[in-house]
């Protein structure tokens, strides 16, 4: 645990410019948003393309060198994908570029921007322009390289698998076989910078509208909490386990409870307060 809260530096490309009171550069807040997001959107610039590419990917932040590091410490982002996917090939080609003999440092890797977003509420106001969402969003900026060390690759695969369902990794057939290891690639993203933006609370309307009694009596205002809920597990066609395992059912119930509680509590929070873990 760091002695003080670590923050990413504010750079022109990472600084929140609008509604700065909603910005948060703390590592713990940003990493928590990323690690609790089931799908990350990864942006990169393919060569010979006029447009950036965006891929939905599964990922998780962690530290191979310090597996017990918490969310408030410096972490890498690990991304999971198929060995011959475009982003893996681009990263591989980027890492294999010949280096300038005058430069002693290795290539940084493929530049990536990674976004994670949670919607926590529909904020319904008196006027269309004042409608909003309660949300948590984070953006990371970094450089990706392929993980080649087998031990680190297994670490990342376990980390990502357990991010889907905690304790899922030890409750599967282990270890992955050679074909599975060969067909899977892992990107390690060294994070250069990041920022988060969080909105909580209720609707905010103009004073003139708030003084219009007829309008107040006609238009419903407030927040509809939004949260993901996981339903009852449905057994697969060849499943022979009669009972849903406790590690799965217990986590499902707890995760549903926590998600609903956060969305409802966000309605009463003031903007600028810390995001809950």
Considering the domain boundaries, does residue 119 fall inside one?
Answer: yes
d(CA 200, CA 76): 28
Considering the domain boundaries, does residue 82 fall inside one?
Answer: yes
Domain coverage including residue 216: 20-226
CATH code (residue 188):
2.30.110.10
Structural domains of the chain, count:
1
Considering the domain boundaries, does residue 105 fall inside one?
Answer: yes
Residue 212: is it exposed, middle or buried by C-beta count within 10 angstroms (0-12/13-18/19+)?
middle
Residue range 246-271, pLDDT digits in tens: 999 999 999 999 999 999 999 998 65
pLDDT of 43 reads 98
Predicted structure pTM score: 0.90
pLDDT of 26 reads 97
Q: Which residues contact 210 (CB under 8 A, 6 or more apart)?
A: 126, 216
Considering the domain boundaries, does residue 169 fall inside one?
Answer: yes
Considering the domain boundaries, does residue 7 fall inside one?
Answer: no
pLDDT of 101 reads 47
Q: Contact, 33 vs 116, CB < 8 A?
A: yes
Considering the domain boundaries, does residue 239 fall inside one?
Answer: no
Q: What share of the chain is helix, strand, coil (3-state, %, to 5)?
A: 30, 25, 45
- Where the chain has pLDDT below 70, the residues are 1-3, 96-107, 270-277
pLDDT of 107 reads 52
Count other C-beta atoms under 10 Å from residue 104's C-beta: 7
d(CA 262, CA 36): 13
């Amino acid at each position: 645990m760091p002695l003080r809260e670590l923050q990413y530096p504010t750079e022109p490309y990472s600084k929140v410019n609008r509604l700065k009171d909603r910005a948060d550069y703390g590592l713990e807040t940003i990493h928590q948003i990323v690690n609790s997001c089931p799908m990350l959107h990864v942006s990169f610039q393919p060569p010979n393309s006029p447009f950036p590419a965006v891929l939905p990917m599964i990922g998780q932040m962690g530290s191979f060198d310090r597996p017990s590091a918490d969310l408030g410490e410096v972490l890498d982002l690990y991304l999971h994908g198929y060995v011959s996917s475009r982003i893996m090939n681009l990263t591989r080609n980027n890492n294999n570029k010949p280096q300038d003999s005058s430069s002693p440092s290795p290539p940084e890797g493929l530049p990536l921007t990674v976004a994670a977003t949670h919607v926590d509420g529909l904020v319904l106001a008196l006027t269309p322009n004042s409608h909003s969402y309660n949300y948590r969003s984070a953006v990371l900026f970094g450089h990706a390289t392929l993980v080649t060390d087998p031990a680190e690759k297994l670490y990342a695969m376990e980390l990502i698998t357990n991010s889907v369902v905690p304790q899922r990794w030890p409750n599967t057939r282990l270890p992955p076989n050679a074909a599975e290891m060969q067909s899977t690639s892992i990107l390690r993203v060294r994070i250069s910078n990041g920022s988060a933006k969080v909105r909580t609370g209720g609707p905010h309307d103009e004073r003139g509208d708030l003084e219009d009694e007829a309008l107040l009596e006609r238009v419903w205002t407030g927040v509809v909490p939004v949260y993901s809920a996981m339903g009852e597990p449905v057994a697969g066609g060849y499943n022979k386990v009669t009972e849903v395992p406790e590690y799965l059912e217990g986590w499902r119930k707890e995760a549903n409870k926590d998600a609903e509680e956060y969305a409802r509590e966000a309605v009463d929070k003031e903007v600028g307060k810390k995001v809950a873990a």
